Every structure is written in structure tokens, then in C-alpha cells.
């Protein structure tokens, strides 16, 4: 996706090499974590953003978008985090 399409405080999902990824832009930087909740495999792309966290739409666990850390139960396992960088209008993710 084009970097300019990912607005501040928003999320977007992309499937890359068999990975379902959740991209976000927080504080101007692009971050990438796994886009599937570690509790019951819900698509976090359907969740809502709350400051720098995504809220799972099924049982409301929150995950830090920068690190993937699970903030509250029922999810306890963090999301996998991927290196992301922006070059020009393109987002590159190391998977």
C-alpha cells in the first residue's frame, strides 16, 4: 500500500507472504504487527484504535500497536512485531 494512504492514528491490514499484518501510523511512524488476535484469532483490522493501541472487536483485549504487547486480558500473548519503514510513498515490511 502507499504510505500516504495510512493516516495518523489509523490502521490497515495487508497479507504478505502468508502473514496477516496490521499496519498503523503512530506519531508519524509506521508500525507493523500481526493482524490476528492471539486470543481467538479475530481479525484486528476490524478493531478500533484507542490512542496507540488496537482494541480487539471480539473480547476487547488491547494491544500496543508499536510493540504488539497485550495490555489486558483475555489475550496474554503479544502480537508478533515486524520491522517497518517508509521510503518515499512505499511501506516496506521485513517478514
> Judged by CB under 6 A, which of 56, 65, 79, 91 binds ligand FES?
56
Sheet of 11-16, strands arranged across = 11-16, 19-26, 29-34, 81-87, 90-94
State the minimum distance, in angstroms, from the CB of residue 66 to ligand FES: 19
60-74-53-91 Cα dihedral, nearest 10 degrees: -110
Nearer to ligand FES, 14 or 58 (CB): 58
Name the site residues for ligand FES (rule: CB under 6 A): 37, 39-40, 42, 56, 58-59, 61, 74-75
Amino acid at each position: 500500500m502507499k504510505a500516504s494512504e495510512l493516516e495518523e492514528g489509523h490502521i490497515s491490514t495487508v497479507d504478505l507472504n502468508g502473514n496477516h499484518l496490521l499496519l498503523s501510523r503512530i506519531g508519524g511512524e509506521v508500525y507493523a504487527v500481526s493482524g490476528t488476535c492471539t486470543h481467538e484469532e479475530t481479525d484486528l483490522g476490524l478493531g478500533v484504535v484507542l490512542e496507540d493501541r488496537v482494541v480487539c472487536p471480539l473480547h476487547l483485549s488491547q494491544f500496543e500497536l508499536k510493540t504488539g504487547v497485550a495490555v489486558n486480558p483475555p489475550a496474554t500473548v503479544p502480537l508478533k512485531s515486524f520491522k517497518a519503514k517508509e521510503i518515499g510513498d512505499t511501506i516496506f515490511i521485513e517478514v
